[in-house]
Structure 1
Amino acid sequence: MIEIHNLSKVYNTKKGQVKGVDDVSISILEGEIFGIVGYSGAGKSSLLRCINLLERPTTGQITVNGTDLTSLKGERLRLARLKIGMIFQHFYLISQKTVFENVSFSLKAAKFPANKMKERVEELLEMVGLADKRDVYPSQLSGGQKQRVAIARALANNPAVLLCDEATSALDPTTTKSILRLLKKINDELNITIVLITHEMNVVKEICNRMAIMQDGRVIEQGSVYDIFASPETDLTKEFIESVVSFDVPDIILHRCDGPIVKVTFKGEVAGEGVISDTLQQFNVKGNFLHGSIEYIQEMPLGIFIMELRGQEKEVQSALQYIKERAAQVEVVRDGL
């Protein structure tokens, strides 16, 4: 669906050239929700704007549905962009126009048949849950409602791709969840490919299938959301995940432990099984649970537990081996004192 090959974007500034995007390659599948995560200045928004050529890449190639956008100009590029909707953090609604007029504006710009305009706008407002707000002005809407208008406007011309640039960053947590549910509904019902830029791992965890982590203009890690949460490879990725799932054990608790401390990760169906309880029954060891939970990512369980094992060294090692054979990952956080 979307193929990004060796893409770079260089900006000329008073202080010289700055690379906003640095040799990025990503494949985004048709019908998936793909998250691009990074802190401010990581290059994620620059990358997103390159996808529909709001910013033309310095080097590299963007292919959408088999069409090389970087080779298009003028009218051909304008027509290609009609199939790529975009929503932003700050909505960008026209304050002097009603909800109906804001959505119809996109249709008029695309020369949509005038006799079908009313029906299409009403269909879109029904889809985003704003059928009763058609004659209201943006100033009378909440932040979540404004974003729903922006989503309806982005969907007006039946795009195959929806680009979301920090679409929930200006919203409170409850409203964020409702917007994410709407995006998931749109993805499920219309099979629209969604590319979602965010710095919030909760957003990615909620609806994305796969993701990429960006730092200093480069992609430093990418893969399925589940696998990245289960086995993050870079320090930055671990930092992002810890903002959602924290497993810090206070030092005062650690000082009370004299046995080895292990972090155990269970993936898939195994996460719900009693591997730890079976271990404690089969071996002459005692387990002191320090932290743990089961997270659900794309409705799949991911279990992470931190525990101290106490007992004779031989029994502890046998117990660890038993757990390693059944868990996705076992990390000895600290050897016994």
Structure 2
Amino acid sequence: MIQIQNVSKVYKTKERIVTGVDNVSLDINTGEIFGIVGYSGAGKSSLIRCLNLLEKPTSGTILVDGLNLMKLRGNNLRQARLKIGMIFQHFYLISQKTVYENIAFALRAAKTPANKINARVTDLLEMVGLSDKRDVYPAQLSGGQKQRVGIARALANNPSVLLCDEATSALDPNTTLSILRLLKKINKELQITIVLITHEMNVVKEICDRMAIMQDGKVIEEGQVYDIFSDPQEELTKEFISSVVSFDVPSMILSKCTGKLVKVMFKGDVAGDGIISDTVQQFTIQGNFLHGSIEYIQERPLGTFLMELKGEDDEIEKAIAYMSSRAAQVEVIDNGN
């Protein structure tokens, strides 16, 4: 669907040369929701703007449905862009126009026949849940409602791709969740490929199928969201995940631990199995729970527990081996004792 091949974007100023995107290659599949994660300055906004040539890459190739956007000019490029909708963090609605007129503006710009505009806008307003806001102005809308107008406008010309540039960053958590659910609904019902950039792992966890982590203009890790959450490879990825799956235990509790401290992670269906209780029953050990949680990512459970094991060393080693054999990932933590 979308092939990003060795794309770089270099910005030149009088003082220096800045590389915003550094030789990035990614394949984004038809119909999936793909998240691109990174802190400010990582290059994610530059990359997403390269996907519809709002920023022309310095080098590399952008293919959308097999069409090489880098080779298009003038009207051909404008026609290709109609199939790539985009929503932004700050909405960019026209304050002097009503909700209806903001959406109709995108249709008129694409030279949609006048007799088809009303029906199309009506359908879009129903899709985003704003039929009752048809004749109000942006100043009368909440942030979430403004973003829904932005989504409707981006969908006006039946795009096959929807680019979301920090689309929920200006919204409160409840409104963010409602917008993410709307995007997921649009993805499923319209089979639109969504590319979503964010610095919030909760957003990725909620709706994305696959993801990439960016740092200093490069992609440092990519894969299925579940796989990255359950087995992150890069330190930055681990840092992002820790913002969602907190694993902090008060130092006062840790200082009282005299046994072996282990982190146990269960993936998939085994997250709900009684592996830990079976372990304690089968081996001569004591197990004290310090922390635990089960997250659901792509509707699959990921269980993480921190526990203290007490007993003879050989029994503890056997217990760890047993848990590992039951599809658990066990890591011994240094607690300073």
Give the TM-score, by structure 2 length: 0.99
1:60 counterpart letter in structure 2: G
Structure-2 separation of matches of 1:86 and 1:159: 9
For residues 282-297 of structure 1, the aligned pairs below 5 Å read: 282-297=282-297
Moved over 3 A (4+): none
For residues 40-189 of structure 1, the aligned pairs below 5 Å read: 40-189=40-189
State the partner residue of 2:333.
333
State the partner residue of 1:243.
243
1:115 counterpart letter in structure 2: N
- Deviation at 1:249? 1.7
- What do the CA deviations read for 1:205-226 (whole angstroms, capped 9, x no partner)? 0000000000110011100110
2:225 counterpart letter in structure 1: V
Structure-2 separation of matches of 1:226 and 1:204: 10
5+ unaligned residues in a row in structure 1: which ranges? none
Structure-2 separation of matches of 1:5 and 1:263: 39
Identity of aligned residues (%): 73
Structure-1 separation of matches of 2:208 and 2:328: 22
- Deviation at 1:326? 1.4
State the partner residue of 1:21.
21
Structure-1 separation of matches of 2:254 and 2:96: 60
* Native 8 Å contact 1:259 1:335 kept in 2: no
Per the alignment, do residues 129 and 306 of structure 1 end up closer, same or farther by CA in structure 2, a change over 3 Å counting? same
- What do the CA deviations read for 1:179-211 (whole angstroms, capped 9, x no partner)? 001000000100000000100000000000000
* Native 8 Å contact 1:164 1:194 kept in 2: yes
Structure-2 separation of matches of 1:336 and 1:18: 43
- What do the CA deviations read for 1:55-91 (whole angstroms, capped 9, x no partner)? 0000111100010111111111100000000000000
Structure-2 separation of matches of 1:321 and 1:256: 25
Whether 2:14 is the aligned partner of 1:6: answer no
SS at match of 1:96: coil
- Deviation at 1:14? 2.5
SS at match of 1:236: helix
State the partner residue of 2:218.
218
* Native 8 Å contact 1:180 1:206 kept in 2: yes
SS at match of 2:117: helix
Structure-2 separation of matches of 1:45 and 1:318: 49
- Deviation at 1:336? 8.8
SS at match of 1:331: strand
SS at match of 2:34: strand
Per the alignment, do residues 166 and 331 of structure 1 end up closer, same or farther by CA in structure 2, a change over 3 Å counting? same
* Native 8 Å contact 2:255 2:335 kept in 1: no
- Deviation at 1:335? 7.5
State the partner residue of 1:31.
31
1:40 counterpart letter in structure 2: S
* Native 8 Å contact 1:260 1:336 kept in 2: no
Structure-1 separation of matches of 2:244 and 2:336: 29
Structure-2 separation of matches of 1:159 and 1:67: 14
- Deviation at 1:327? 2.9
SS at match of 1:157: coil
State the partner residue of 1:268.
268
Give the TM-score, by structure 1 length: 0.99
- What do the CA deviations read for 1:261-288 (whole angstroms, capped 9, x no partner)? 1111110000010100100011110101
5+ unaligned residues in a row in structure 2: which ranges? none
* Native 8 Å contact 2:254 2:335 kept in 1: no
* Native 8 Å contact 1:258 1:336 kept in 2: no
- Deviation at 1:143? 0.5
Structure-1 separation of matches of 2:153 and 2:328: 44
* Native 8 Å contact 1:206 1:298 kept in 2: yes
Structure-1 separation of matches of 2:82 and 2:304: 44
Structure-2 separation of matches of 1:143 and 1:282: 56
Structure-2 separation of matches of 1:64 and 1:20: 21
State the partner residue of 2:321.
321
* Native 8 Å contact 2:8 2:21 kept in 1: yes
Structure-1 separation of matches of 2:296 and 2:154: 30
* Native 8 Å contact 1:259 1:336 kept in 2: no
State the partner residue of 1:278.
278
